Amino acid sequence: MVHLDEASPEKHASVLLNISNLLNELGDGTQVELVVHGPGLSAVIAEAPHAAKVDELLSRGVTVAACAYTMRGMNISVDGLIDGVQVVPSGVAELVRRQRLGWAYIRP
Amino acid sequence: MVHLDEASPEKHASVLLNISNLLNELGDGTQVELVVHGPGLSAVIAEAPHAAKVDELLSRGVTVAACAYTMRGMNISVDGLIDGVQVVPSGVAELVRRQRLGWAYIRP
Amino acid sequence: MVHLDEASPEKHASVLLNISNLLNELGDGTQVELVVHGPGLSAVIAEAPHAAKVDELLSRGVTVAACAYTMRGMNISVDGLIDGVQVVPSGVAELVRRQRLGWAYIRP
């Protein structure tokens, strides 16, 4: 699991690159989930500067999960997200839930 | 466990909101501990801008733990903290200790 | 495991101090690994402002692991690092790998 809650596109580029490198290193079959919430949601909206990189990660099997709390707060619907991004009820709860299932957690 | 070590009141507001949402999602009985150290200590001093929100979380059963190392470094005694905030010898050691006990870790 | 991927020397000083305090609290025999990647690599180059503090932690038994991806990207060889710093193929993969082995994760 990779946790992203910052607004800056430079941060987004860096986190997306971290995930690419992680897949390169652990293999494309590795389950990786990027969880975005708060200001990090801007990384996965349709017009995000690094949307092409998000697409690439989705096509490599990465799950991208957006926080429904944040989406309501920012008045963004699922149609406003990059195709293939999933919605979870709460980004933070998702991070807790998956750790309980034994997933590792990285917060770049 | 939620880890806070940044100084900005906007960050504090955001982290406190994350915890509210987490409780909403997982239920008020969920054990949540906010660990503050370093510049994050300013979130839990009596005159903190978001002290009312900290009070609300305390009343919902959240444990708030302040780092004694940081308190000594900033010359703040337990009387200078919001009522109900607990003191732990080291914030970072607390984060390690609870992960060893199986607690999930979130660093917003 | 302590994760550092930020560029600012103030952040480096603070993270290195966190590790000192952690050793003070849990004892010098405690296994601690500092993983640096991305902009955080600047904390462990030979001319880093806080190189003496890194040396001190190394002498207390802390492992410091630098990301080879980042080193290639920044054109820094192992000779450019503080003596005793180790190189891992990927900093992020190292963080995942050790969590799978049961290590706690802290991202100050």
C56: closest CA of chain A, how far (Å): 25
Token digits for B108? 């917003």
Angstrom distance (rounded) from CA B79 to CA A32: 45
Angstrom distance (rounded) from CA A93 to CA B25: 7
Q: Which of B17, B21, B101 to probe the A interface (max A CBs under 10 A)?
A: B21
Task: With cut-offs at 50, 70 and 90, classify the pLDDT of residue A29.
Answer: confident
A108: closest CA of chain C, how far (Å): 7
Residues of C in contact with A6 (CB under 8 A): none
Which chains are adjacent to chain B, needing at least 3 Cβ pairs under 8 Å? Answer: A, C
- Write the pLDDT tens digit of every residue in B41-69: 999 999 999 999 999 999 999 999 999 99
Among candidate residues B108, A104, B106, B39, the one with its CA nearest the CA of residue C18: B39
- Write the pLDDT tens digit of every residue in C75-108: 999 999 999 999 999 999 999 999 999 999 999 9
Q: What is the pLDDT of residue C85?
A: 98
Helix (H) or strand (E) holding B72: helix B68-74
Contact across the interface for B25 and A90, Cβ inside 8 Å: yes
Residues of A in contact with C96 (CB under 8 A): 22, 26, 104, 106
Compare CB distances from C14 to B38, B99, B107 and report the shortest one's residue. Answer: B38
Token digits for B50? 């978001």
Angstrom distance (rounded) from CA A64 to CA C82: 37
Token digits for A29? 């079959």
Helix (H) or strand (E) holding C97: helix C91-100
- Write the pLDDT tens digit of every residue in A43-75: 999 999 999 999 999 999 999 999 999 999 999
Residues of A in contact with C99 (CB under 8 A): 104-105
Token digits for B41? 């200590």
Instruction: Judge whether B57 and B19 are in contact, CB under 8 Å.
Output: yes
Instruction: Judge whether A36 and A91 are in contact, CB under 8 Å.
Output: yes
To the nearest 10 degrees (0 to 180), the angle between helices B9-26 and A91-100 is: 60
C83: closest CA of chain B, how far (Å): 26
Closest Cα in chain B to A100: B104
Q: What is the pLDDT of residue C28?
A: 83
| Amino acid found at A95 | L
Per the listing, tokens 């940044």 go with B6
Q: Is the pLDDT of residue A40 over 90?
A: yes
Instruction: Judge whether A39 and A6 are in contact, CB under 8 Å.
Output: yes
- Write the pLDDT tens digit of every residue in C39-74: 999 999 999 999 999 999 999 999 999 999 999 999
A-B contacts (CB, under 8 Å): 40
User: Residues of chain C whose C-beta is under 8 A from some C-beta in A?
Assistant: 3, 5, 37-38, 69, 89-90, 92-93, 95-96, 99-100, 105, 107
Q: What is the pLDDT of residue B108?
A: 96
Token digits for A44? 């996965």
Instruction: Judge whether A77 and A83 are in contact, CB under 8 Å.
Output: no
Task: With cut-offs at 50, 70 and 90, classify the pLDDT of residue C29.
Answer: confident
Contact across the interface for A106 and C100, Cβ inside 8 Å: no
**Which residues touch B31 (CB under 8 Å, ≥6 apart)?**
B61, B63, B103
- ipTM for this prediction: 0.93
Q: What is the pLDDT of residue C20?
A: 95
Task: With cut-offs at 50, 70 and 90, classify the pLDDT of residue A32.
Answer: very high
Q: What is the pLDDT of residue C3?
A: 98
Task: With cut-offs at 50, 70 and 90, classify the pLDDT of residue A28.
Answer: confident
Query: What are the residue ranges in chain B where pLDDT is below 50?
Result: none
